[in-house]
A and B are shown apart, each in its own frame.
Chain A
Amino acid sequence: MLVDIDTLNELKEIMGDDFDELIAIFISDGNTQVENLRLAVSTSNSEDIRRIAHTLKGSSANLGINTLSESCRVLEHKAAEDSLEDAQELLEQIISNYEAAKEALEEKF
């Protein structure tokens, strides 16, 4: 499942008015992180890749965006081992997951 609707509903209930801000922050920070990640992969900077993937993994998990979180986890793991053969492929996957999640968030919330 692309996004966990239950998690998001719970967050919305708890956060009330702050929920819209949370979504806005996630999307705006997410855009920056995806761009930074793209740059890091193009320069094969495994340390930056690892750090950005880690952050994006955490924040997406907290919003219940599990597919994105999972692909970030795989990339973080590879970067930590300095094996960047699949990095470009994983980056494409992350971007596609991120775009889909963004769409779903904007549509549903």
Chain B
Amino acid sequence: MKILIVDDDRANRLILSAYLKKDGYTVVAAENGLEAIGVFQSEGPDLILMDVMMPVMDGYEATRRIKMMTVDKFIPIIFLTAMTDEKALSQCVEVGGDDFLTKPYNRTILKAKIDALERVSQLYNTVFQQKRELISHYEHEAKEQEVARKVFDSILNPGCLSSDNIQLHLSPMSLFNGDVVLAAVKPTGGLHILFGDFTGHGLAASLGALPLSDVFYSMTAKGYSISDIVRESNHKLKQQLPTGMFLAACLVEIDTNNMVLKYWNGAIPGAFLHKGDSIVDLKSKNLPLGILGDSVFSDKVDIIEIHDRDRIILTTDGILEAENSDGKMFGLERFEACLHYDLKVASDNLTINSLPADDSPPSELDADLFQHILDTLDDFTLEQEQTDDVTLGVITCDINYINQLASQKGAYKKFVPTHWKFDLYFFYDSIKSIDPVPLVNQIMGEIQGHQIQQDHLSTVLTEMFCNSLDHGLLELDSSLKSTPEGFMQFYSDKESRLNGLESGSILISVSNAPNDTGGELTIVFEDSGKGFDVKKMQNEMSSVDKDTPIKFSGRGLSLINNYCQSVTYNDSGNRIECVYSWLNNDI
């Protein structure tokens, strides 16, 4: 520890210096205040003993200046004084002195004071250090959150939340929101909206929004229904969220083709359809998403007829549970009263002004409702601290606008069954590394939309591919599969032969012939293998009845037979052709 002695009296410096050196301190000295500042800067002492009355610059001024130079570090200053009057002592404190030592010096007291201040300064400097670290952590964290939020927002908002017919109020309690609102235009026209509230709030609660938005946007874009989306969302959240975390959610589809509203509500308390002259409660009939297993989960949607400019009002429990200064909650009753208030205004308007003109801006009345709810809430809670995410959405079923939206976004694309054909060759090395079935499925989806991507077709393709690979290229013997041991042998042979495959290819050819209900696919798998005895196989297949023992093989071909219109083989058995009919639900 290094101590700076500031005293104009040589004898005093000598005595103090001797005392301090005896106790093991390093000592530096200055003869007046100005010199002290210079020595302080060059030597960086840990503690200063400061005389008061000195020529050039006195101890008060030097102390004031040194304290100003050390705002982020604690350097104790002990005043050396023979003075006893209170005014002088209080001036020592005022300029930042930490203690006094009166002359004549007592070595024991000097040592005790230095020790005490050393402990204080360690404590201070630890606190300063922690404060610096905290500030730097906080700044780092804030930067990271900012970046994360940008990423987050861009993931959550590729849809049409900013559309004119959607009014949205989101007031997150923290940077991230436990509430999630997603909206996207359907490829066939119409709008999907998801309104959700994760358990908890903040970062942890918002993480689940990522897989959810992925499912919502990609499935909507592919034309899936809200039933499918809600089922898949539940599946994914159940799989990915920890137990105890789930999502209260309401999914809504505005079907502008049939003028109906389809909805699935799982535990969202405030979901209403405002029909202008009446209000329908879109009641929750389900548990939140992410709780039930697939088999017990219900994706059943309810359907209500709608008219142009009906409005859907959605809110999470944040509004309903908002408290005023008396600890009373806003509650569902007040919320519903807001809706009825608007109902009255609307009908007054109708009686006074007759029907509003068709080309009047659609948002005028709706803005009233949206704003009215928020104003009523503000009047109720006044300055009370917000305790949960408050989210409110009012969506106007403006049919023209929604249809326009779909065509603007280029999302509106009705898939009409057309003529097409593609051939894909897979050689031995690519067969080892890729599964052609999803690829073929994807290509068909790109050409013909999701309507063609059906589970049965997927099964047919998989079984046809396995057949060509197992019996064509790999020359595996199905009869192996007649015993349990052989069954295992079959698959381990399959693995080793596939690894050792050094030649051969499979051609996959798919063509579509459109018809009134959809289309007829002709699917051909042709392999470069030796083929097999077709007649023998067909005889075996037809002889399977109740009397023959159950075989472990041959099910692939019977699945194909079951799902296809026709199945034919060439004589050498290396080419199989199936005809598969598919229905286009868009028609």
Residues of A within 8 A of B (CB): 7, 10-11, 14-15, 18, 21-22, 25-26, 29, 51, 54-55, 57-59, 61-64, 69, 73
Contact = CB atoms under 8 A, between A and B. Distances in A.
Q: Which of B8, B9, B10, B105: most chain A Cβ within 10 A?
A: B9
A54 B59 CA distance: 15
A51 B53 contact: yes
B9 A58 contact: yes
Contacts of A63: 11, 15
A74 to B, nearest CB: 13
Contacts of B103: 57-58, 61-62
Given A51-B53, A54-B82, A57-B82, A14 B11 contact: no
11 contacts: A15-B14, A22-B14, A25-B14, A26-B11, A55-B53, A58-B9, A58-B103, A59-B12, A61-B104, A62-B15, A64-B104
Interface in B9-31: 9-12, 14-15, 18-19, 22
A14 B53 contact: no
Interface in B434-460: none
Contacts of B19: 14
A5 B127 CA distance: 46
Nearest to A56: B9
Question: Which of B8, B14, B53 gathers most chain A CB within 10 Å?
Answer: B14
A43 B53 CA distance: 22
Majority-rule SS of A interface residues: helix
A14 B82 contact: no
A57 B82 CA distance: 8
A55 B104 contact: no
Q: Chain B interface residue count: which class?
A: 10 to 19
8 pairs of A and B residues whose beta carbons are closest in the complex: A61-B104, A15-B18, A59-B11, A58-B103, A58-B82, A62-B104, A26-B11, A61-B103
Interface in B331-350: none
Given A29-B9, A54-B82, A55-B9, A18 B14 contact: yes
A102 B288 CA distance: 98
Given A61-B103, A62-B103, 7 more contacts: A25-B11, A26-B11, A54-B82, A55-B8, A58-B103, A69-B104, A73-B82
Given A61-B82, A62-B104, A11 B10 contact: no
A65 B380 CA distance: 80
Contacts of A7: 104
Given A54-B53, A54-B82, A58-B82, A29 B11 contact: yes
B20 to A, nearest CB: 11
Given A51-B53, A61-B82, A15 B11 contact: no
B22 A14 contact: yes
Nearest to A18: B18
A21 B53 CA distance: 24
A57 B11 CA distance: 12
B82 A22 contact: no
B10 A25 contact: yes
| Residue among A14, A18, A58, A73 facing the most chain B CB atoms (10 A cut-off) | A58
B107 interface: yes
Contacts of A18: 14, 18
